[in-house]
Amino acid sequence: MAKPIKCPSCSVGNLRITEIPYRVPYFGTILLVTLRCENCGFSHRDLFSIDFHEPMHYEVKVKGVEDLKIRVIRSSSGTIRIPELGVRIDPGPFAEGFISNVEGVLERVERAAMVLLHGAVDVEEKKRCLDFLEELRKAKDGLLEFTLMLDDPYGNSAILSADEGKVVKRRLTEEEVRSLKSGRILLETG
Ligand SMILES: [Zn+2]
């Protein structure tokens, strides 16, 4: 039995760790990990690939509602970008891993933008948030073409489509791995 991990939120309770293997077509088996504190309710989700994957860049052009169903697997080490919307989701210790689809990614961005909207300090900032939410809604309705990019120096993340050729993927260059926030550890050990 591993040593109990103290909860980073309340520092009183211990984290209960649940690991569930999950088979993903066209990718392999991933491990869904949930950390949960029974004292304060803090929880954190992440996922990792069991198989070894190269540092990868995935990219898909979303051209309509049908493309919103394309599956997205994001580990906490994955960076998500949507250049047309100016969206970037960086990795970090509190970045959550999830299995979702393109629409689910947009919903996460929408929730974050709503939080920003409620915290807006002036009219200008509020307007920026509202304009952004408007663009996001178009994207969610399939009325706005955009590119979803996903980079992961550990290859734990992926964009997956049954339609071959829809998703462009390639190995990340050393340069790109270095520029990613979570790339450092890989280079130090590698
Ligand atoms: Zn706690």
Examine the domain organization and report whether 61 and 155 are in the same domain.
Answer: yes
In the listed set 16, 34, 51, which residue is the last one of a domain according to the structure? Answer: 51
Q: Return the structure tokens found at 107.
A: 């919903």
Examine the domain organization and report whether 23 and 87 are in the same domain.
Answer: no
pLDDT < 70 regions, the chain = 1-2, 93, 181-190
Examine the domain organization and report whether 95 and 133 are in the same domain.
Answer: yes
Examine the domain organization and report whether 83 and 127 are in the same domain.
Answer: yes
The residues pairing with 45 across neighbouring beta strands, listed in sequence order, are 34
Query: 182 C-alpha to center of ligand 1: Å?
Result: 26
Query: 133 C-alpha to center of ligand 1: Å?
Result: 33
Examine the domain organization and report whether 117 and 45 are in the same domain.
Answer: no
Which regions of the chain does DSSP assign to beta strands (E)?
Answer: 15-24, 28-37, 43-49, 56-62, 71-74, 79-82, 87-89, 98-101, 146-152, 158-160, 167-171
pLDDT in tens, 137-178: 999 999 999 999 999 999 999 999 988 789 999 999 999 988
Query: 41 C-alpha to center of ligand 1: Å?
Result: 6
Q: Quick one: which of 164, 183, 153, 190 has its CA closest to 57?
A: 153
Say which residues have a Cβ less than 8 Å from residue 10's Cβ, sequence separation at least 6: 37, 39, 40, 42
Query: 36 C-alpha to center of ligand 1: Å?
Result: 8
Query: 69 C-alpha to center of ligand 1: Å?
Result: 35
H or E, element range at 135: helix 123-140
The number of folded domains in the chain is 2
For the whole model, what pTM was predicted? 0.86
Query: 9 C-alpha to center of ligand 1: Å?
Result: 5
Residues with CB under 5 A from ligand 1 (ion): 7, 9-10, 13, 37, 39-40, 42
- Residue range(s) defining the domain that contains residue 27: 1-51
Query: 73 C-alpha to center of ligand 1: Å?
Result: 27
53 contacts 155 by C-beta, under 8 angstroms = yes
Examine the domain organization and report whether 162 and 78 are in the same domain.
Answer: yes
Examine the domain organization and report whether 39 and 71 are in the same domain.
Answer: no
- What pLDDT is stored for residue 185 in this prediction? 39
DSSP 143-169: -S-EEEEEEETTS--EEE-SSTTTEEE
- What pLDDT is stored for residue 2 in this prediction? 66
56 contacts 152 by C-beta, under 8 angstroms = yes
